[in-house]
């Protein structure tokens, strides 16, 4: 399945870009990558060259355009049905889709006060109103998924094998590391598995090599 191009933002900061990038890697899909530096005077103009919404990520597949992280992930799952990007069990798949959608739409306090910044460590920052509630909910999601579904399947991810739901939460794993968020044993083991995932390490290495610096913001 050729002719795929993913337009993304800075790897150190762009949480939305990370998600479909991981999914394409998990599908072993050949794709080209176009990185647009964020928070620059010409950022929006550069993105508009690829699609009219003016934000990243954008997946270009021939003359077909897909935008928004979760929609791109769903599209990749349809292109590569044998990649196992959703759990096989219908109930598990429904739960995985539900918590992926919750991640996509929710946790605004965490996003605002603990933006993704892979290269940095801010252990004493980000503890603002609403953030702990978001942390508690995310930890509960991880714990319940691992105990109910991950334990039934071989593999260290939320539903055993790596799926789209893990890609959706990958930026949160990065945030928790950056801001030294304490979680339970089950959640901590999941974070270790996610952080050591080869594609996550590839992204992280590239993030550390980037020269661009942006003041804390959500992308």
Whole-model pTM: value is 0.95
Strand order, beta sheet including 64-67: 32-35, 4-8, 58-61, 64-67
- In the chain (219 residues long), the average pLDDT of successive 10-residue segments reads 89 97 98 95 94 96 96 98 96 97 98 96 96 98 94 87 98 98 97 98 97 67
- Token pair of 148, please? 């109910």
Domain 90-201 in this protein, CATH class: mainly alpha
3.40.30.10, 1.10.10.10, 3.20.20.70, 3.40.50.170: CATH of 4-83+203-209: 3.40.30.10
Helices (H), 106-215: 108-113, 131-148, 164-178, 185-196, 198-209
- Every domain of the chain with CATH number 3.40.30.10 lies at 4-83+203-209
What's the confidence (pLDDT) of residue 214?
A: 80
Helices (H), 2-130: 15-26, 43-48, 69-79, 90-105, 108-113
Q: How far is Cα 71 from Cα 41, in angstroms, rounded to an integer?
A: 28
Residue length of the chain:
219
What's the confidence (pLDDT) of residue 133?
A: 98
- Every domain of the chain with CATH number 1.20.1050.10 lies at 90-201
């Amino acid at each position: 399945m050729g002719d795929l191009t993913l337009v993304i933002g800075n790897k150190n900061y762009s949480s939305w870009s990370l998600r479909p990038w991981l999914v394409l890697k998990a599908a072993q899909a050949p794709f080209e990558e176009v990185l647009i530096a964020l928070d620059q005077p010409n950022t929006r103009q550069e993105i508009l060259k690829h699609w009219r919404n003016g934000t990243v990520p954008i997946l270009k597949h021939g003359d077909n355009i897909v935008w928004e992280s979760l929609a791109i992930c769903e599209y990749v799952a349809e292109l590569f049905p044998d990649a196992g990007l959703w759990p096989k069990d219908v109930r598990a798949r429904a739960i995985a889709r539900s918590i992926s959608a919750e991640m996509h739409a929710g946790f605004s306090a965490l996003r605002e006060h603990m933006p993704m910044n892979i290269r940095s460590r801010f252990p004493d920052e980000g503890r603002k109103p609403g953030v702990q509630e978001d942390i508690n909910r995310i930890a509960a999601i991880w714990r319940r998924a691992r105990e109910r579904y991950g334990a039934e399947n071989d593999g260290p991810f939320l539903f055993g094998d790596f799926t789209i739901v893990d890609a959706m939460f990958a930026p949160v794993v990065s945030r928790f590391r950056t801001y030294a968020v304490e979680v339970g044993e089950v959640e901590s083991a999941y974070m270790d598995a996610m952080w050591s995932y080869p594609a996550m390490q590839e992204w992280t290495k590239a993030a550390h090599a980037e020269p661009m610096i942006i003041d804390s913001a959500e992308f």
